[in-house]
A = this chain, B = another copy of it.
Amino acid sequence: MAEDAEFGIEGRWAVVRRHRIRWSECDQYAHANNTAYLALCEDLRVSHWLSLGGRFALGEPGPVVAQMEVRYLRPLAFDDEVAVTMRPATLRRSSLTQDYAIWKDGLVFTCRAVLVLVRHGSGEKVPIAPAMRAALIEQGATEEG
């Protein structure tokens, strides 16, 4: 992809999105704040969920973050152009892991998230539906356990 060269992206990613660091994402150290990176990951997570046929309505299963491991490798500044990437990693019955990264002249940030599928309203765990599981495997995810 064109973005691979422009941003120094390595590896295969299911989703790539350009972003320009916003004024509202920067704190008084003049750097993008830690939480801004996670909201960018969230953007990809929810649009990816929609792209798989998922919904966020009451009674529907949706992904809820249970764990995250994040690394901030280099700071980002206002108006920096970056690429945010995402891919599913491993699948269990009703949970999955996803990898996120942010790139600008190479790797800037990584995040691995553990998501649990939870029914909105009841809070009960819901297994990954077969068609969604197949789509995730096609995007590079592997079955775990």
A residues at B contact (CB < 8 Å): 22-24, 26-30, 33-35, 38-39, 42-43, 46-47, 50, 56, 62, 64-72, 75, 78-79, 120, 123
Q: Which residues of B contact A23 (CB under 8 A)?
A: 27-28, 42-43, 46
Do residues A24 and B35 form an inter-chain contact, with CB atoms below 8 A?
yes
Do residues A24 and B42 form an inter-chain contact, with CB atoms below 8 A?
yes
Label chain A's interface by main secondary structure: mixed
Please, how many angstroms separate the alpha-carbon atoms of A121 and B42 in the complex? 25
Q: Which residues of B contact A64 (CB under 8 A)?
A: 29, 72, 75
Do residues A39 and B27 form an inter-chain contact, with CB atoms below 8 A?
no
Do residues A72 and B66 form an inter-chain contact, with CB atoms below 8 A?
yes
Do residues A71 and B78 form an inter-chain contact, with CB atoms below 8 A?
no
A50's contact among B35, B47, B71, B79, by CB below 8 Å, is which?
Answer: B79
Residue of A35, A72, A79 with highest tally of chain B CB at under 10 A: A35
A67's contact among B38, B39, B70, B123, by CB below 8 Å, is which?
Answer: B70
> Smallest Cβ distance from A86 to chain B, in angstroms?
14
Please, how many angstroms separate the alpha-carbon atoms of A67 and B39 in the complex? 16
